[in-house]
Amino acid sequence: MIAVKRSTETSSEGFLSLASFEEHRLPHAGPPQAVQAAEGELLTYVMEGAVAFEDSRGLTGVIHATEFEVASLGAGAPRSMRNASQTHAARYFQLWLRGVTAAAAPARAQHRFSVVSRRDTLTLVAAYEGRGGALALRHDAQVYSGVLSRGRHVIHALGARRAAWLYMVQGACTVGEFTLAAGESAAFTDEPCVSITAMDDAEVLLVDLSAVEVRASAQ
């Protein structure tokens, strides 16, 4: 089944172990934005500009355009995000993977995945225990990023008892019988694969999740 969400909002209430997803745009020299800390893992992708962060433990850093960061913060480590530039705007995306890390020590890592490395394919940027050179997750999840040329067709196979969530960062794509525009998303359950065709030059984020874990924990 494919469930499409058509919304101009920049946030989502989540899907399975994906607790939430948000898009942020920061003007230059603007005030910092607070990130509500929760148990789980936070993945940040900076698409444009550079974003500086600071948490309650005093950890600071800068995430630049085309860089991805994974951080396990915990409920006691709120974080603030601000534009690192005084002259250019910034645009970034954040997704939370809920729970399962409460007993683990806080950790973070970041890595640049160039546009070239993501061109016309689905590049693995984060995965359980860092499979395939991706950023390491403690969740049974995989996050892919793709920058697709118009007309490009890509397929992501879903294993048994897996689900997926697709977000259109920019451009437009068809998935099955549906067309998704920038800011829209689609959830895939009980499907053999995610089939994507770019109608324009497009960029997508895809999260492959375990359906079993979440259904069991919800009981």
pLDDT of residue 214: 43
Pair 24, 13: CB distance under 8 Å: no
pLDDT of residue 37: 59
pLDDT of residue 13: 64
pLDDT of residue 38: 61
pLDDT of residue 94: 93
State pTM to two decimals. 0.90
pLDDT of residue 219: 35
- Positions of the chain with pLDDT under 70: 7-13, 36-38, 73-78, 99-105, 213-219
Q: Which CATH superfamily is domain 7-217 in?
A: Jelly Rolls (2.60.120.10)
pLDDT of residue 218: 36
